[in-house]
């Protein structure tokens, strides 16, 4: 995994009183000696008829609104610079916001995107087009979803790995999860833990008899432990911070993160689609509302985003006459 040299912060509302995403991104930028960009996507609709503007008069109006947002971002950047962080600002007319963020990250060569989690539960997020959920699916670079406002202070970081490669999960993804978790733990003077869910053997093994079923279960646990230890061999994670937990992966990660009071959980997301997605599910998506700490999502090597490269510009709507 490439080092983090550029961080893109998606600022949803530059006028908000609290900006925990900006604060935590600034912490990371300072700790990693990375450049920071504050970005806002102007994705609101412009109703041409209501504004009374002709097509030729729209551009000055767009420029003025963009200038106002750049000024607001500039005031935030001025506060960030007080902490010796190299920060720039950008605002663009583009929609939807999550696609605009992915496009901006691609143009600037960002190594990490930081965004705040959508408030409330994620009910039918695909239908509503919630930005954090869509970024989780579409961002090709690591994505930090900020859920807690408190700054990082010697954070506990939990790397969720799957050395058994369930459902054809790419082997390299686990190493990237560990590398990124270790980078943040070192930079923020935190501690890195690792968790692996040992999925139980199907219950119909009871047909083999209690003794045989027990032997099979024990063999499965031993195999999972061996794979887990082999993966962590090159790390400095001690045995006390290696957590092999039985059960469904999302339940194992949620329980371990809650018990340890982790500040960041690092997860891999393959972002399947269609029937395979419905059958297998996605651990990262299921944990979006269930883990109390921040989520750091990592995609497998070679992941290609489905976001078009060309910016869409302003979203213009012309009202239709009532009669």
Q: What is the pLDDT of residues 15-51, one digit of tens each?
A: 999 999 999 999 999 999 999 999 999 987 766 655 5
For the chain, the domain total comes to 2
Residue 181 lies in domain: 150-303
Residue 120 φ then ψ, to 5°: 90, 175
Does residue 44 contact residue 72 with C-beta atoms inside 8 Å?
no
Span of 99-113, 126-140, 233-247, 283-297 with lowest mean pLDDT: 126-140
pLDDT of 96-121, one tens digit each?
999 999 999 999 999 999 999 987 66
194 & 136 share domain: no
Percent of the chain scoring above 90 in pLDDT: 62
118: in domain: yes
Provide the angle, in degrees to the nearest 10, between the axes of the packed helices 131-138 and 97-108. 40
164 & 26 share domain: no
192 & 163 share domain: yes
222: in domain: yes
CATH number, position 26: 3.40.50.620
Q: What is the pTM of this model?
A: 0.89
29 & 164 share domain: no
103 & 207 share domain: no
289: in domain: yes
122 & 178 share domain: no
52: in domain: yes
2 & 126 share domain: yes
308: in domain: yes
295 & 316 share domain: no
> What does the buried/exposed string (b/e) look like for 222-258 if buried means 16 or more CB atoms within 10 Å of the residue's CB?
eebeebbeebbeebebeeebbbbbeeebbbbbbbbbe
Closest Cα to residue 116, out of 104, 139, 102, 133?
A: 133
163 & 72 share domain: no
145: in domain: no
pLDDT of 252-307, one tens digit each?
999 999 999 999 999 998 765 543 443 334 677 788 888 989 999 999 988 988 89
């Amino acid at each position: 995994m490439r080092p983090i040299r550029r961080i893109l912060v998606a600022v949803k509302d530059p006028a908000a009183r609290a900006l925990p995403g900006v604060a935590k991104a600034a912490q990371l930028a300072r700790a990693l000696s990375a450049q920071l960009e504050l970005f806002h996507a102007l994705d609101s609709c412009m109703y041409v008829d209501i504004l009374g503007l002709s097509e030729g008069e729209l551009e000055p109006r767009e420029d003025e609104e963009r200038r106002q947002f750049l000024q607001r971002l500039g005031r935030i950047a001025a506060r960030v610079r007080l902490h010796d962080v190299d920060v720039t600002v950008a605002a663009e007319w583009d929609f939807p916001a999550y696609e605009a963020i992915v496009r901006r990250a691609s143009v600037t060569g960002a190594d990490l995107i930081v965004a705040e989690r959508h408030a409330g539960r994620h009910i039918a997020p695909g239908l509503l087009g919630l930005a954090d959920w869509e970024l989780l699916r579409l961002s090709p670079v690591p994505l930090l979803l900020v859920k807690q406002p408190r700054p990082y202070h010697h954070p506990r970081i939990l790397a969720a790995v799957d050395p058994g490669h369930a459902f054809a999960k790419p082997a390299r993804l686990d190493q990237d999860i560990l590398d990124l978790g270790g980078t943040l733990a070192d930079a923020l003077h935190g501690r890195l833990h690792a968790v692996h869910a040992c999925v139980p053997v199907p219950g119909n093994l009871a047909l083999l008899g209690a003794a045989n079923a027990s032997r099979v279960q024990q063999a499965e646990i031993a195999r999972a432990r061996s794979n887990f230890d082999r993966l962590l061999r090159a790390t400095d994670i001690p045995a006390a911070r290696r957590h092999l937990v039985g059960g469904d992966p999302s339940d194992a990660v949620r329980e371990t993160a809650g018990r340890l009071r982790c500040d960041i959980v690092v997860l891999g997301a393959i972002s399947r689609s269609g029937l395979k997605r419905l059958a297998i599910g996605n651990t990262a998506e299921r944990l979006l509302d269930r883990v109390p700490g921040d989520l750091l999502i990592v995609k497998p090597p070679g992941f290609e985003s489905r976001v078009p490269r060309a910016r869409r510009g302003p979203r213009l709507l012309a009202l239709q006459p009532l009669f």
